[in-house]
Amino acid sequence: MREMKMGGKRKRDEGESAAAEEEREVNPQSNKKSQVLPSTIKNKDKRAAVHSKIKHEKKLAKRKKQKDREAKEKKAMDLGEELPPRPVPHTIENQRVPDETICRLDDEELFAGNDADEFSGILKREFTPKILITTCRYNSTRGPAFISELLTVIPNAHYFKRGTYDLKKIVKYANKKEFTSIMVVHTNRREPDALLIIGLPDGPTAHFKLSSLVLRKDIKNHGNPTRHMPELVMTNFTTRLGHRVGRMIQSLFPQDPNFRGRRVVTFHNQRDFIFFRHHRYIFDQKEIKPLDGKSKNKEDKEKKEKKLGKVFTRLQECGPRFTLKLVSLQHGTFDTKGGEFEWVHKPEMDTSRRRFFL
C-alpha cells in the first residue's frame, strides 16, 4: 500500500511539473514573475550572479527587438512602403501630469493680461530697463565676483553697495532714481545661494534658489563678452505661472538685440529648474589642404574647391553659468510681514516627480 501511495505521489508531482512547464511556454509573463528577485537573496555572491544574469537577459532581449525593428524597416524600404512607427521613449517630460494652467495659442485672456501687466511697458519698448544690483548685508568675495559678471551680462545694470540699509529703503531710493528692477544676491557660507528680483514700482517680487554657480574664470575655453545688446532665448515656460516668471526675467533685458554682437543669453526651463547660459556664436571657415597635382580626376578637384568655402558655426560660452529654482512669487514689492503671495513652493506639493509648475 505504501509503495502504491508513494508511486501515485511521484506520478502526481511529475504531472504537476509538466503542467507548469506548459503554462510557462504559453504564458511567458508568469515565468518572469516566478523569477527570484536579487534583493531577496541574502548571499552576496549569489545575489550578484543572479543580478548579472537578469541584466544580460534584458540586454539580449533589447538587442533582439532592435534587430527585428531594423529588419522590418529594411523590408519596408525595399518594398517602397511606409516605415513602421518608431516607439517613443518614456521620459518624465512626456509623462507629465496634466495641468489646467498650461498656456494655449488661442487663449485670448492670456494675451489680454499681457497687455495690462507690469512688464508690458518694457516689452513694448516704451522705455528701456534700468537694473539696480546689490548684495545681502553680510556678503563674501564670491558674491561681488558673481555680480561683476552679471553686470557684463545685463545691459544698463548698476551695482550699489548694500551697507546697513534696509531693503524697503532701497526700494524707495530705486523708485526715485527710476530703476525698473532690483536684483539682490544673497550669500550663505561664502557662496551665493539665492536671488531676489523685485519689479518696480509695483512689483511683483520673485525669490529664487541659486545653485550650480560656475564663474567665467572656471569655464574652460571661455570667451569675453562684448557690449552689444544680447539676444534673449526663453524656452519651455508653458504654464500661467511660468509665463509670468518668463516675462519678469525678460523685462530685465532691452528688447532691441544687436545681432552683429553675436551674443545669446538663454533661460531654459526643465523640470522647474531654470538653467542660465551665456554664449557667443562664431563663424569659422574650415580649411582643407589643396589637392596634389598627381591626381588625374578633375571632378575630385572641383569638389574640393567647393568645400573650401563652407562656413561652420560654433558656440563659445562666456559665463557665468548657474541654475535657478522658484521659491515664491509675491504681489507688490518686497514685504515679509504683510505681503500677499501669488505662489509659494511647499514640500507637500512635491507629490509626484512628473508634476511641474513652470
What is the identity of the amino acid at 20? A
Other beta carbons within 10 angstroms of residue 104's beta carbon come to 8
- Residue pLDDT tens, the chain, 358 long: 444 444 444 444 455 555 545 545 445 454 555 677 888 888 999 999 999 999 999 999 999 999 998 998 888 888 888 888 888 888 888 888 888 888 888 888 888 888 888 898 899 989 899 999 999 887 777 888 899 999 999 999 999 988 889 999 999 999 999 999 999 999 988 899 999 999 998 889 999 999 999 999 999 989 888 889 999 999 999 999 999 999 999 999 999 998 888 899 999 999 999 999 999 988 887 766 555 555 555 555 555 555 556 788 888 999 899 999 999 999 988 887 778 899 999 988 888 888 999 8
Tally of CB atoms within 10 A around 27: 11
Joined grid coordinates for residue 19: 503542467
278 within 8 A of 291, measured Cβ to Cβ: no
Q: How far is CA 282 from the centre of its chain?
A: 24
Alpha carbons 274 and 358: distance in angstroms, whole number: 9
Instruction: Yes or no: say if 309 and 275 are a contact pair by the CB < 8 Å rule.
Output: no
Cell numbers describing residue 293:
597635382
Task: Confirm whether pTM is higher than 0.85.
Answer: no
User: With helix as H, strand as E and coil as C, how does 97-134 read?
Assistant: CCCCCECCCCCHHHHHHHHHCCCHHHHCCCCCCCEEEE
